[in-house]
Amino acid sequence: MKFDLYQHDLATPDGRIVQLTKVDDNTVMADVLVEKINSNFVGFDLEPRLLFFNIKSTLAQLGVNGIGMDYEFDRSQASCRLRVQLKAIGPIAMELLPKIIVGAYIGRIFALDDRRRVRDPDYISRMFGRSDKWGRPLLSLGGMHGSDAMILDKIDGRTVAYLTLKNGKIAYDASIFGFLPTVAKGLVSKMRLRELLHLHQSWVENVPRNVEEGEILLVKTEPLHIRTVFAHVVDALLNPGYRHTTASILQPDTRASGDVYELFGQSKREITDLPLEFYTLEPYREHVFFSDRDQLQANLEDSKSLFDAFSTAPEPHTLHAAVFVVKGSQMLHLKSADWTSGDPSFQEFPGIGHSTRQAVMIDRYIESQPTYPYLKAIEDGYITSQGVLFTRYFPTPLMKRMLLSDNVARCLKGVYFQQPSYSHGSFFSQEDRAMLNDLHKFGVPVFWVDGVTRKILQYLQKKHREAGMFVPLDMIETYLKSTVFGVYGSNLLSGNFETELKVLLKGVLDLRSEVNHPLLHKESVLALITGGGPGAMEASNRIAKELNILSCANIADFHQEGGVINEQKINPYIEAKMTYRLTQLVERQAEFNLDFPIFVMGGIGTDFEYCLEEVRRKVGATQATPIILFGEVEYWKDKIAARFHRNLKSGTIKGSEWVSNCFYCIQSAEQGIEVYRKFFNGTLPIGPQAAVPEVGFVIC
């Protein structure tokens, strides 16, 4: 991954003293070594004037200031050696300075990168009133929604916040001198000393806040929370005669403790406020809401931008790759190196009889996925900005536990993929589709950056349906509101029904103006679903596109050893689709969810689909709507009548004989239009109360 989970890219870890040289009673030169610097630390490439040594606030509150100089970075060793001038201000600091020893951790390097300076006050103000998942404010001073104690302004092209100081100052008890040896030892062991330091401090109200030479002035503001930026005290904007110690960087984990500031200098004029400038965090850590990312949202709605972004994924195309995107500029400037990639090797798991080994193997496989580092970082709270996940392959169902965890569900605002499956190409397994449905229920949108249609397709389910399909973004409303027709028929024969089918569907569109039925009225839109293959399916999808009816397909993978099948080339007229592996054929057929099926000449597959539509109406899975049988009466008699009579005679369809009155054999589009007209007007004899036709279907 290209971000470190424990370090910000504008700051290093604390550095330790490796050598001390006394200059005088008030001054010591310390050689400091900073190690384990994040490889993405911005300061590696900055001019020295933009590097700033931030001394620990514990030392600054005791009057020790530190000026960094002579920075020598070694990127290969992830380290930096620098000199720090330690200066004692006041009697407490003069007592502490000789006690500071080699090995003490005294501060860190900060990169004052102009490019990361906050320039727009809105960037800061929009965080007031917002909190993280634990209810902690993202930015506040004296209260969740901020207060008059913070005034935002724009000065010299940067945002500056003026914090009003409380009326008084901090003084030390005499006990502080006995605490100094503990401070010196604590600096070596990296103890948190600031809370202990407060035990020796007291607040003195209603005394002047002015500074005398040779003393440290400790002032306070209202409790401050900073979670979304670094803050830096701007010396140049302080009252004349005042300077702040180099403990002037407020970290983005400041939680109601960033309220003590250390000033020195000389001035009779009382100071009333403190100026802060701000620096942005890495995009992952900004706590930015997806709703605030206007550019990112615009980019995600632009198919070219999405295809361009995916084109940056590392080669070869068989490589698994993923990246988490949280802002528009990040998406527009993606590089191959920004993606996490790998080639997870799948092995057959030993099964429940070896539960311990099974769990270990699954964990290893999950951790090898390129999506894992991002989801893990979100779970652990190191990625705090909301964003979208780009992944070359739809995530393995084994990632479901992470994808649906509370933290990830809050942060993940979309999954975008290019291929449904590494092993099965464009086809989803049963487990894949189960995860699609779960993501849909949990409100995580899923998008297919489809190289076939060159469109962005979103997975959607219609109301009261347990399965859905991928729909072009500009056709979402059409799909959700559509009345669904469907054509079942041979993949071998296109038949001679094409002209009549076009007239039939055109007639249905015209019927909208004269009927008022829940499934067809003047506001209705239509969709047409096929199996997506050649022959009758291709002709039907082509007609749908010509009539501006949403052209859909449920496409099965028929590349299976041992099967007697005909090649199912996917036709090019499909707009919305769902794909299935062959082993899920029955489920695929059950998910057509047609309001009005139309049958044309077909073989075994068509017979199977015919039976499913019968069963749907028998068990009440769908209401009794007319099913069109397109073709000669004798053809359908040969297919249907013998089976119907045998069932009728044996009594095996007793009580459900009526299902046969849902099937209408037509030879012309006009006959079909009349069937639909009567149905929508409520005059079609259909359902349990209507007569049972003698041959198992109604002859028009």
Q: What is the pLDDT of residues 53-105, one digit of tens each?
A: 999 999 999 999 999 999 999 999 999 999 999 999 999 999 999 999 999 99
Residues 6+ apart with CB under 8 A from 579: 420, 426, 427, 428, 554, 555, 556, 557
What's the whole-number average pLDDT of the chain?
Answer: 90
Structure-block tokens of residue 526: 């239509």
Q: Are residues 373 and 420 located together in one domain of the fold? A: yes
Q: Could you tell me if residue 584 is inside a domain?
A: yes
- Tell me if 371 sits within 8 A of 322, measured CB to CB: yes
Of 411, 616, 439, 626, residue with least CA distance to 517: 626
Task: Report whether the peptide linkage leading into residue 445 is cis, meaning its omega lies within 30 degrees of zero.
Answer: no
Looking up tokens 């700051």 gives 11
Residue 662, domain extent: 475-700
Same domain flag for 109 and 125: no
Whether residues 511 and 652 share a domain: the answer is: yes
Q: How far apart are the first and last CA of the chain?
A: 67
pLDDT tens by residue, 571-585: 999 999 999 886 655
Work out how many domains the chain is built from and give that number: 4
- Whether residues 480 and 543 share a domain: the answer is yes
Mean pLDDT of 215-242: 92
Reported as a single tens digit per residue, the pLDDT across 370-429 is 999 999 999 988 898 999 999 999 999 989 999 999 989 899 999 999 999 887 788 898
Within-domain flag for 389: yes
* Confidence tier at 467 by pLDDT (50, 70, 90): confident
Give burial (CB, 10 Å; 0-12/13-18/19+) of 47.
Answer: exposed
Amino acid at 584: Q
Q: Is residue 195 part of a domain?
A: no
The pLDDT value recorded for residue 583 is: 63
- Residue 2 forms part of a structural domain: no
- The residues pairing with 230 across neighbouring beta strands, listed in sequence order, are 279
Q: Is the pLDDT of residue 354 over 80?
A: no
CATH of residue 426's domain is 3.40.140
- What whole-number distance in Å separates Cα of residue 26 and Cα of residue 85? 10
- Both 98 and 145 in one domain: the answer is no
C-beta of residue 228 within 8 angstroms of C-beta of residue 127: yes
Query: Within this chain, do residues 328 and 393 fall inside the same structural domain, yes or no?
Result: yes
Residue 461: inside a domain, yes or no?
no
Distance CA 33, CA 72 (A): 10
Least confident of 349-358, 529-538, 680-689: 349-358
pLDDT of residue 565: 47
Find the range with the poorest average confidence among 43-47, 189-193, 312-316, 439-443: 189-193
Number of Cβ atoms within 10 Å of the Cβ of 131: 16
CATH code, domain with 131:
2.70.40
Domain's final residue, options 249, 283, 317: 283
Assess if residue 368 is contained within a domain: yes
Please write the tens of the pLDDT for every residue from 236-277.
999 999 999 999 999 887 665 558 999 999 999 999 999 999
CA pair distance 233, 260, nearest whole angstrom: 12
Out of 418, 451, 484, pick the residue that ends a domain.
451
Residue whose structure tokens are 């110690």: 245
509 and 441 together in one domain = no
User: What's residue 109's pLDDT?
Assistant: 98
The single residue listed with the structure tokens 């080699």 is: 102
Is there a domain that residue 554 lies in? yes
Indicate the residue among 251, 283, 315 that finishes a domain: 283
Tell me, what CATH number does 581's domain have? 3.40.50.450
The residue ranking higher by pLDDT, 134 or 305, is 305
Q: Which residues contact 609 (CB under 8 A, 6 or more apart)?
A: 488, 589, 592, 597, 599, 602
Q: pLDDT above 70 covers what percent of the chain?
A: 92
Q: Are residues 556 and 617 in the same domain?
A: yes
Same domain for 224 and 248?
A: yes
Residue 463 lies in a domain: no
Judgement on whether residues 235 and 313 belong to the same structural domain of the protein: no
- The answer to whether residues 38 and 78 belong to one domain is yes
Give the model's pLDDT for residue 563.
45
Within this chain, do residues 296 and 429 fall inside the same structural domain, yes or no? yes
pLDDT digit string, tens, across residues 536-588:
889 999 999 999 999 999 988 866 554 444 446 889 999 999 998 866 556 65
